[in-house]
Structures are given as structure tokens and as C-alpha cells.
Chain A
Amino acid sequence: MSGFNLPGIWAIYRTEMARTRRTILQSVATPVITTVLYFIVFGSAIGSRMHQVAGVSYGAFIVPGLIMLTLLTQGISNASIAIYFPKFTRTIFEILSAPISSMEVVLAYVGAAATKAILIGLIILVTATFFVPVQIMHPAWMIAFLVLTALTFSLFGFLIGIWADSFEQLAVIPSLVVTPLTFLGGAFYSIDMLPQPWRTVSLFNPVVYLVSGFRWSFYGSGDVGVAASLIFVITFMVCCLALLSWVFRTGYRLKS
């Protein structure tokens, strides 16, 4: 047997997507309902009393940020639990003993996690159109940012799932690092609205670049240049891939 184990990739991908179908309420309904609540509270209740931000209504302004928030959290949680669960139940032995390369395993798990994150992101986008006027000036770039971000943070989540030795560790980085960075990353405001030195400090927050690039694809303007956003996403993805390559080469937390 040589070449590419397509049936193996498909088997993992299909099983992961089946898990989503089994847990449809938790996987899809929960993030959608949460985001709708954001629109009601921030978009309608508070946003109706606010001026326009960056040339659009506040409700429309937060749409890209909310989608990005969902992409990050869903990508990370889907991928981390996908690889942590086989470790926890010890079914990982089957993956490790199968004729499937590490990159094929990553492709299957990360692909499934990213697919779920993108689907939820698109559902939220469609949901948003019921509440606020949304326009997409650069649809190709919007899709590019959507896919790249979902893949990158699913890779990051996969790394967290391999590193984690307990459910507590699994939750610690998403809740203590990613969520604060996301909330402070311009999802609900433009960093131009911040006083100094917080505006400068914000430029060290990687999520600012993601939200800004994604918002640019919607409304043609962002807090930082679109090239900087793109470079950040690609650099982070390369870092995750390099770290994963090391993990599989050394068998870190997978093989003894």
C-alpha cells in the first residue's frame, strides 16, 4: 500500500461530521443562539443608540467580529476535542496503528473541525441578515479569510488537544487566552475608539488582525492593512504546522 490514504481520511472526516449531527443542539444551535443574543443586545438594544462606526451601523459593524469570534472558538474547540477524545478513551491506538500518515490525520480532523466552524460562521452570517443590513464588498476575500482562519485555529485547537492531559487543560487556553483576546480584539469596537496607550497595545493582539481583515472584506475598511491581516493568518498557520510536524516526528504525548 502506498500513496494517499483517501478512505482513511474520509473515515475520520465522516465520523467527526457524524458527531456534529449527533450533537446538533450543542454544535450548531448553541453558537447560533448565542450570536443572536449578541445581535439583540449589542446590535438592537445598545447599537440603536450609537452612531455609525467606520461608516456603517453598529449592528452591521459587529457582524464580522461576531463571525470571527465564532470561527476562533468553534475551530479550537472542535479540533481540540476531536483529538483529545480518542486520547481520553484510548481509541487513539487505532489511528496510530493504521496505515495513515500524520498529515492525513491532521487533514481529516482539522478539515472536519474547520468545516463545522465555517458552516456555523455562514449560518451566523445568514442569521445576521435578519437583524442588520450586511454588505460584502470583497466576497472572495471574505471566503478566503473565513477558510484560512477556520483552518488555522482548528490547527491550533488540534495542538491544544494533543497537549492537553485533562479536560481542564483542554479548556484553559480557549477560556483564559483566546476568549479575552477575542473580546479585546476589536470584535465589538474599532481600535480607533480606544485611547492611547491601549490603541498601541491592541496592535500586539493577534485577533485584531483577523477581525480587521475580515471586516475589510465586508465594508472595505479595517483597523490595520489587509496585507498585515493576511500575513498574520498565514504566519500563524505555518507556526502551527511546524509545531505539529515536530509533534508527529517526536510522538509528543502520542507515543511512548
Chain B
Amino acid sequence: MPTVLSLSSVTKIYKSGQTALHEIDLVIEKGEIFALLGPNGAGKTTLISIICGLVSMTTGHVSVNGYDIIKDYRSARAIIGLVPQEISLDIFTTVEDTVRFSRGLFGKPNAPDYIEQLLRDLSLWEKRSARLNELSGGMKRRVMIAKALSHEPDILFLDEPTAGVDVNLRRDMWDLVRRLRDRGVTIILTTHYIEEAEEMADRVGVIDRGRLMLIEGTATLMHKLGKRRLTILLHQPLMTIPPALAHWPLQLDAEGSRLVYEFDANASDTSIPHLLRDIGAAGIDYTDLETSRSTLEDIFVGLLEGQI
């Protein structure tokens, strides 16, 4: 797939001396959904803000669809839509007027049919004449998305799109993102909800303290770094792991009622039958077995804590 966004050695040092981004290199392909994960203050919003022209980078180079974001800023910005984290709206205007304003601002002629379809897609058509101060928080969030999509961008940035929204709206947004991807729109999102990235993203990037620690396909990441877990529910609680099982990497939970065995999800030999035989030979009865796969959240936390 062709490259739609390219960052090379992007560094941002604020006037206070704080280095928000260190030498970021990143390439995004057309039509992919890329999730940028990181804790608060990691540099996610700064990175997006640089690409969109809201923050000046200290050094580095960014191109959008081959256009330099400084020299060819018009061409670069024309194909970008941004939904910022905060809801920022002129609350005295109407839904339709503010969406039309955004389209005009991005140099596009008025297109009533497109605006109508966009508002219908976002369940805003019935509210088109309502002033923004009459809308709920969720509806305002939809308006923010409508504004970002008003000029039919090729790349959409969603900065924490579902932070503080209810479950229905979150599901609607996920559906919308998938529909946009199907239309060829590249989507770059930052999120605290790791299941959101796991559910939707083709690739994830983990950023911490201004450094991109990892960029990987979501499935590949899960495959490479994912662990599986076998939980053995015991008939009688144990005080400690018996010496006969000491050579197994087992963990006993706080109540002593579960033994947990973690193993490589991709290993051909998990040694589970062998383990169960050893448990039986040690005279330990169990009532049930549960297996689970580690989530992206486990991987993310492990990366940040340096355990992976």
C-alpha cells in the first residue's frame, strides 16, 4: 500500500525545556487504522498536533501524501481531518452552520447533499437546526466528527475519540471508523481504551515519554508477545506450592485456591498434560481448568514496565 504519512526524526522541545518527542520515525500506509497507545503525557497529542499544524516541531520532517507539512501546508492539510480530545465548539451556531463552516474553511465549495448524508450518518440530521448549546455531550462529540469529515479527508485523526462517551456512542463510533476505512480513509487514533485498539487497529504504536517504543501489526504483536494462561481451580486451598511442583513456573493466587500457569501462546509443546500429571501425582485435586489469552492491555502494561 502507498505511504500516506511519513515522519522522520521528529523532535519537539517546548520552550520550558521539556522534550515532548524524541526522534520519532513513523510511516503510515494508506487505508490502515493505526492506534497510538501511551500513558498520559507520553506525547500522543503533541505528535498529532505537529502533523495537523497546531504545534511547531523543533526538528524533523513530516510529509502527508508526499506533501511537506511546512512548505506544502495547503495540500497537506486539505486531506487531513482532526477530531481533538476536547469538545471545542462555537456553541451559539447551529449544527448545520458549523459543519458548513468547516467545509468552507478547508477550501471546499458547499455540498448540501454530502453534508446531509454526513449528518444522517452521524444521527445529527434531525438536530441540524439546533444550536450547539442545546445538544448533549455525546451529540456535541458527533458534531466534532462531522466537522472533521466535512471536507472529505483522506486521513482522519481521532484523539481519544471515545473518552467519556457512553457505550452506544462508542459502538457507533467504532462502526463509523470501520465504514470510513472501507471507503479508503486512513485513520490514526489515540486511545486509553486498549480494547478499542485491539478491536479496530491494523497496527499499534506504543509511545512513552516521547519515544516510540514499538510499532507492530496488532495481530503480529498479539502473536509475538501474547501469552496464554492456564488457571487450575483447586478442590482444597494450598498454603504454598508443593516442592514436587517447584520446577514448574506456577503462581498461587492470594486465596490459595488457584494455580496459574503462563506459557508461550505459539509454542508447539505447552507441557500441559505433563503438568497435570505432576499435579495429580502430588495429590492435588482440582475442580476445573480455564485457559485465556493475554490481552493487548497486558502487553502494553508489560512494555511500559519493561517486562517484555
Contacts and interface: CB of A to CB of B under 8 A. Distances in A.
B84 A255 contact: no
Contact of B54 (A19, A97, A99): A97
Given A7-B107, A93-B84, A98 B77 contact: yes
A255 B55 contact: yes
Given A5-B107, A7-B108, A255-B56, A94 B102 contact: yes
B53 interface: yes
Interface string B117-150: 0000000000000000000000000000001000
B209 to A, nearest CB: 18
A196 interface: no
A22 B90 CA distance: 13
Contacts of B73: 99
A7 B151 CA distance: 12
Contacts of A6: 107
A96 interface: yes
B270 interface: no
B93 A15 contact: yes
A93 B108 contact: no
B75 A256 contact: no
A144 to B, nearest CB: 31
A12 interface: yes
B109 A5 contact: no
Contact of A256 (B55, B77, B107): B55
A97 B56 contact: no
A177 interface: no
A14 B103 CA distance: 13
Nearest to B110: A7
B105 A89 contact: no
A228 interface: no
Nearest to B15: A256
Contacts of A19: 92
Interface string B78-108: 1010101010111111000100111111111
Nearest to A105: B105
B10 interface: no
B74 interface: yes
Contact of B53 (A15, A18, A22, A96): A96
Contact of A99 (B88, B103, B106, B109): B106
A251 B54 CA distance: 10
A100 interface: yes
Interface string A220-256: 0000000000000000000000000000000100011
A106 B93 CA distance: 21
B52 interface: yes
B23 to A, nearest CB: 19
A56 interface: no
- Which of B54, B76, B102, B109 has the most chain A CB within a 10 Å cutoff? B54
A140 interface: no
Contact of B14 (A85, A89, A256): A256
Contact of B78 (A10, A22, A99, A251): A99
B88 A2 contact: no
B86 A8 contact: no
Given A96-B54, A98-B77, A99-B73, A7 B109 contact: yes
Contacts of A193: none
29 contacts: A1-B75, A1-B78, A5-B74, A5-B107, A6-B107, A7-B107, A7-B109, A8-B105, A11-B101, A11-B102, A11-B103, A14-B104, A18-B93, A86-B90, A89-B90, A91-B89, A93-B52, A95-B105, A96-B54, A97-B53, A97-B82, A98-B77, A100-B105, A100-B107, A251-B56, A255-B54, A255-B55, A255-B56, A256-B56
Given A97-B82, A100-B105, 8 more contacts: A11-B102, A85-B90, A89-B90, A94-B88, A98-B105, A99-B73, A99-B75, A100-B74
Closest A-B pairs by Cβ, 4 of them: A11-B104, A90-B88, A99-B74, A99-B77
Interface of B: 14-15, 52-56, 73-78, 80, 82, 84, 86, 88-93, 97, 100-109, 147
